[in-house]
Copies of this chain bind each other. A is one copy, B any other.
């Protein structure tokens, strides 16, 4: 044991996978003193998770980028676009394309760097100090590894050993530490942190360090699947209608199920169509076309599905590919180029607890594992961190009270459970034996599969998420009554705000705020609302003002403005953004004279745009003035015809009656917190909401 220093940090992130990087991005945006460590020398060797990652425009300072086609980012592909609104999700390719994955250094010059080859060796929480705002109650010992220690024992080449990082691989922390045993110059340091987030994967060291109470509940299945990214050479295509769906008692072993396209289009199937081949006795094969000529194959390995743990030494890419050839027969399948391969055993497990004292949190694979086929590995992991990051950040900045942190487990454990439940069913459908006939009750029917497959898009896109009521999510009284667990909401006159869903019938508290196109008042540019909601930690208060060219509607909007100015905006904390959240990042000279309120007020009106004059007609809260940057012209939008992109019909989309208007409060992560009416009678609800959620002056 050589040197052993002690230092303090606000947030320590363990693991630099998708969840850890997402967490680091939040911390960087919010300007929180943070360290992120990872035991590996380099984390991402090639694409691992694929599938639907919902594109997160809120994470970007969007500026007409939908027209731009820049070089390195252009390999985003929309893989499965049925049933989801445009832009809701596309397939994301990690690994080589990790420029797109939120990265602490994105978008411009955050100083946060991943400290690699650093492994925690002890963790303690001072529970007595857990509720002390200024305490650093988590003590972690970090060991700095040598290059040799940090290099995994498996070969690094994906082609030679695709099972590296598969869930078929074992935990190698023990082996890493064993190497340094007895070494005299081991370098360790002690870090005292306000918060620790374990994003360290299925074998999570952080979870284990929290003790036996923190266990993974669930089971492994018998199903083993291989994955290959290849450029296929194949004659696979639907060549006669009779082949589309083949009865399993035919001599031909191939069944074809197609979900990418409507049934009427079945006959256009080929290897560039996302589809599922369900053979009678050789297992199933899923085909997912990727960028350029690459195709991802998910291949069921029936021969190794013999129960219990799988002997990984029996699995090779040759063996996986032979299984694919057997399933797709009588079509031919060959390849010259393989980009990546792996194999995994399907298991569904959820952690018993997601946090300790709301000081140490677990995110991503560290608290839930499931089959990758629903496209949720990276997705749900990043969403965990996306849910948690702003909460930790705003609490650490004393903008939100600590009690908000408990919503992380409330919200994300619920999602993990829902996903595992779905995945359990879905995996059986994927891996199960196809139904022989209508009386075959243990077989999987085409209809059942098709239905589940389409349902999976709700997970893939994140559109299916519906968080439970809490201070952050004010359900309407009628929904709250159904939830036994949340007595408080039922009380009339309680401090908890209540939503009035009728004001904006398509904005559901606990669900994502949808994004529709509007036209900017000042310069007639069209935007979708998500572009005006960057992930900078601010709550958005969207005012749907109706036709403000009419005096009554205008007065109503301005009366709310005056009330907000004296109430919420006067009392809500201001939010000093980190460098990465500054739209002028890279040009430090361009900063607001005064930090903005954590509550961002925006207006969507329904008047003819030309009939409104921003600075004259509207209260100052809709075009706040800053001594250094002048008026903000960027907070008012019209729901009208754009010059080139048609009419966004946002009022219809959000379900707002232009006569009545509405107010919708959106959380910093884009989920709806409160829906209420525009008039005076609702002002109290808005104030109650922020009273609960923020530390008001």
Contacts and interface: CB of A to CB of B under 8 A. Distances in A.
A71 interface: yes
B90 A76 contact: no
Contacts of A90: 64, 67-68
A238 B291 CA distance: 50
Contacts of A70: 60, 65, 70, 72-73, 99-100
Nearest to A625: B233
Interface in A162-209: none
B273 A523 contact: yes
A82 B264 contact: no
A337 B590 CA distance: 7
A96 to B, nearest CB: 7
Interface string A601-631: 0000000011011111000000000011111
14 contacts: A55-B67, A64-B78, A65-B74, A67-B90, A233-B628, A233-B629, A237-B616, A265-B610, A267-B610, A273-B522, A293-B590, A293-B630, A337-B629, A339-B590
A268 B614 CA distance: 8
Contacts of A586: 96
B630 A108 contact: no
Interface in A521-552: 521-525, 531
Contacts of A613: 237-239, 267-268
A65 to B, nearest CB: 4
Interface string A635-647: 0000000011100
Given A64-B78, A78-B525, A272-B633, 12 more contacts: A61-B74, A66-B66, A70-B72, A81-B644, A82-B643, A86-B644, A239-B613, A265-B610, A270-B633, A292-B590, A293-B629, A336-B628
Nearest to A520: B272
A298 to B, nearest CB: 18
Contact of A231 (B66, B82, B531, B629): B629
A361 to B, nearest CB: 26
A524 B66 contact: no
A106 B71 contact: yes
Main secondary structure of the interface of A (DSSP, over half): loop
A487 interface: no
A586 B289 CA distance: 20
A62 interface: yes
A523 B272 contact: yes
A584 interface: yes
Contacts of A610: 261, 264-265, 267-268
B63 A75 contact: yes
Given A71-B106, A630-B231, A292 B643 contact: no
A331 to B, nearest CB: 11
B73 A73 contact: yes
A61 to B, nearest CB: 6
A251 interface: no
Interface in A34-82: 55, 57, 60-78, 81-82
A451 interface: no
A612 B82 contact: no
A60 B71 CA distance: 6
Contact of A609 (B107, B268, B289): B268
A41 B291 CA distance: 39
A75 B265 CA distance: 40
A589 B337 contact: yes
Contacts of A265: 524, 609-610
A684 to B, nearest CB: 35
A168 to B, nearest CB: 25
Contacts of A272: 522-523, 633
Nearest to A264: B610
A461 interface: no
Given A590-B292, A612-B268, A644-B86, A71 B107 contact: yes
Nearest to A83: B643
A367 to B, nearest CB: 29
B76 A62 contact: no
Interface in A91-113: 96, 99-100, 106-108
Contacts of A587: 96, 339
A292 B584 contact: yes
B68 A55 contact: yes
A123 to B, nearest CB: 33
Contacts of A154: none
A306 to B, nearest CB: 34
A558 interface: no
Nearest to A584: B292
A603 to B, nearest CB: 15
A67 B60 contact: no
Interface string A320-339: 00000000000000001101
A631 B289 CA distance: 14
Nearest to A592: B293
A580 B529 CA distance: 36
A454 interface: no
A153 interface: no
A65 B55 contact: no
B74 A60 contact: yes
A55 B265 CA distance: 35
A347 B77 CA distance: 47
A679 interface: no
Give the most central of A72, A86, A610: most B CB within 10 Å.
A72
Contacts of A64: 74, 76-78, 90
A87 interface: yes
Contacts of A66: 66-67, 69
A260 interface: yes
- For the complex of A and B, the 8 pairs showing the least CB-CB separation, nearest first, are A71-B107, A70-B73, A233-B630, A272-B522, A65-B74, A86-B644, A265-B610, A65-B69
Contacts of A107: 71-72, 74
A694 to B, nearest CB: 27
A157 interface: no
